[in-house]
Structure 1
């Protein structure tokens, strides 16, 4: 995937004279950069003679993050690159001005490092941050502009780190755990599950003020994997905020991500990158073609092999859970035919029935068949992000979808006895209201189609 720096061009204009190119090395290669999430690690406080140490520290971090769920299952969705930034001096600044200096035994120091990384950020000793934000942007633009997430690794043996757009961590105690926690913030927008203070308290994947177990966003996980609705504290503003778990990595270092955070990470992965690595044929114009004709998709499978494929030919299901099919002459009509495959992830790390968003990728081939055989095949890939909420609901629910290409998308609602009770067209990019005033309370199935391709099927509960 590529992360354009459009909003930062003005910063680049004023900092370009300070930018510099450095050696870039790929230390984890799962595929083409434009088909992967690109994690870029920049060093600070590493001199030219210490770049080997930087490579080792970066490799240790890669081993740590992809050894933990769900990054371990989705490792093939990521490439990792390092930018070998050279500092004039080794280490990080420590002015010794924090209010909690007495709790730490760290010498005061002034270091000529590249990004100005320093302890004592905002009055807290352990808050290690890189204040030269515009220079980070400039180095990324000059050396690896297609990054999706960048991390600053500071060559210091003392505990410290911080979040923000570019997480920062030292190489000291718990360094890898700090970095993984902070990437949870920066890449996925996970919230702290310790109380972060009133300024940072807000609704998020793993933070809420909702206390109804049937309405809370992690309702599908309640009662399993240690998930419930836990109060941050019992007094003050934080008493009105709740988290899903008591020992998640977003609260304590050294613990795994809780089930709710894992689900959020996977959703972000699917939001950033398609599970389709390639497909064929791409576009094929030919004089004649003999049957059978093969069609295939090459998928980026999680290690748990949880991708599901549904192949549809002219509106009817042709095959499921295969990556390659052969179309016979008897399968197609004279004239234009449509073949599609829809790919979804059915991992047990997501509980999707009441989950708000589903990601679906489709590949559609138009097959022009005449008495002379196939004369033309064209292909198109499309990605859909479909949100359906609230669920359960009283009188209405809302559907919003976005796709790369405009599509004829519709929703069909059926009761549990198989009777269709509603059919409506959905508009892309807006919130579509589905009124249930005429429907009795109970369980329904919402089927969402693009033309004749089934994109998603979700249970809807009317209370």
Structure 2
């Protein structure tokens, strides 16, 4: 997971004094190093109001994790609250000449927009607010992934950017979720955000071809379509969105299916579902049979993780968190046990996703000494097979973190091996299958002779 740049922290510390505040844990799911850590900073709460801030932070957390896909992946998040006191309550509002002394200089009507609640936009740029935010996060919660600012103001407002900000009023919790959609998941507004912010994204496109649009697999499901943006100015007519009732447009709605898919894919990029595994140290000696191998997984709710265990390229077990290896299971010399974890969530309809997102742990067992020589883990293995279905040519591409090669076997349903090829890391290879009979075939993917995945190949 990407963390704050510690070079920046060191630079900030050279001109900002460390500001250490009380931190409360709102939600703890596990080790910060394998969780998405949301940190909520108080703004416009006086010292006497910090108990109210914690209550507001708890209400936001409850609201957020009752909403899909956060509810499905609640175990992937930690939430912390940093009690940063302000000298005065509230936020600035320039139109009424209202200015209050708050820590992060929260200001309504930022950049002339009535509902934009932001910092550092009332003329006092010498406050260097963004540096203050970075410093507070670094000094108090250095493992943060997203810093949120909750403003003690009854007036509707919020903003995205590097540090999502929202008021604490009636719709405040929904506003923060909307803004996190921008900041953490790179979702676009589904009301027209203006020409300067319009671009290709998870939920925004110029593509109108139903066979090519990026959310094609969701069309006509859950009201997903290709809807033109509307507005009075700019180039909004060039752009299209997937839904007409998504929280990225209307704050009282939930996330649409396309946004949920993009959010889950982002969670998978940030977090491995493998929290830990045993044995976890090399050169383990004096192990007695049976030898136990186990995983501690971060499971979605409901659990959609699937595990595939292979021993020496043969399927050994499926959908188990622990297996036992007996002496009779091993061959003399080197043995390889691999577990491959995929998430079979219905929230994802990305083509070949079950082969793109694989997390593995590999154990090498030398039977002659009954010792585990090496243990390695490999995340974010990417295997792509396209187009599928196809008439003439199928393309394979492969990326992984340890530069191992990939072996691919194309097999007919009656078990006959049709084609075997080797694919190097970061390479793409095209295979001509025009002479094959139309029908369904299996493509088996192996790394270091261990079966990682099987994918149906459809020849038209």
Tell me the TM-score normalized by structure 1. 0.89
Indicate how the Cα distance of structure 1 residues 303 and 338 shifts in structure 2: closer, same or farther if over 3 A, else same. Answer: same
8 Å CA contact retained: 1:2, 1:147: no
Question: How far apart are the structure 2 equivalents of 1:126 and 1:270?
Answer: 33
Distance 2:271 2:362 in 1: 18
Out of 375, 382, 391, the position equivalent to 2:378 is 382
Deviation at 1:433? 2.8
Q: Does the 8 A contact of 2:359 with 2:380 survive in 1?
A: yes
Counterpart CA distance in 2 for 1:165 and 1:445 is 45
Structure 1 residues 398, 191: CA separation in 2 closer, same or farther (over 3 Å shift)? farther
Stretches of structure 2 lacking an aligned partner (at least 5 in a row) = 121-128
Task: Specify the alignment match of 1:166 in structure 2.
Answer: 163
Alignment counterpart, residue 246 of structure 2, candidates 235, 245, 248? 248
1:101 is aligned to none
User: Which residue of structure 1 aligns with residue 4 of structure 2?
Assistant: 4
State the number of aligned residues: 446
The residue aligned with 1:121 is 110
Partner of 1:349: 347
Cα displacement (A) at 1:86: 1.4
Question: Separation in 2 of the partners of 1:345 and 1:248?
Answer: 25
Question: 1:294: how far off?
Answer: 0.8
Q: Conserved in 2, the CA contact under 8 Å of 1:286 and 1:375? A: yes
Alignment partners' CA distance in 1, 2:185 and 2:149 = 17
Confirm or deny: 8 A CA contact 2:308 2:319 kept in the other structure: yes
| Counterparts of 2:355 and 2:238, CA distance in 1 | 26
Counterpart CA distance in 2 for 1:288 and 1:390 is 47
Pick which of 219-228 and 69-78 moved more.
219-228
Q: C-alpha distance in 2, partners of 1:447/1:210?
A: 33
What are the within-5 Å matches in structure 2 for residues 36-435 of structure 1?
36-96=35-95, 107-131=96-120, 132-233=129-230, 237-283=235-281, 285-354=283-352, 358-370=356-368, 374-386=370-382, 388=384, 391=387, 397=395, 399=397, 401-403=399-401, 405-413=402-410, 420-421=418-419, 423-427=421-425, 430=426, 432-435=427-430
- Identify which range, 107-116 or 316-325, moves more after superposition: 107-116
Describe the shift of the 1:232–1:449 C-alpha distance in structure 2 as closer, same or farther (beyond 3 A): farther
Partner SS state of residue 300, structure 2: coil
Residue 159 of structure 1 aligns to a residue whose secondary structure is coil
SS at match of 2:374: strand
CA distance in 2, matches of 1:302, 1:435: 36
Q: Which moved more, 1:28-37 or 1:415-424?
A: 415-424
Return the offset for 1:212. 1.6
Rounded Cα–Cα distance in structure 2 between residues aligned with 1:396 and 1:210:
24
TM normalised by structure 2 equals: 0.89
- Give the SS at the match of 2:248: coil
SS in 2 for 1:262: helix
Contact 2:407 2:420 (C-alpha < 8 Å) held by counterparts: no
| Separation (CA, whole Å) in 2 of partners of 1:94 and 1:265 | 34
- Secondary structure in 2 aligned to 1:290? coil
**Cα displacement string for residues 264-286 of structure 1 (whole angstroms, at most 9, x for unaligned residues):** 11111111111111111112535
Q: Can you list the C-alpha shifts for 1:313-332, whole angstroms capped at 9, x where unaligned?
A: 01111000011111010000
Unaligned runs of 5+ in 1: 97-106
> Aligned equivalents of 1:25 and 1:450: distance in 2?
44
CA separation of 1:227 and 1:4: change in aligned 2, threshold 3 A? same
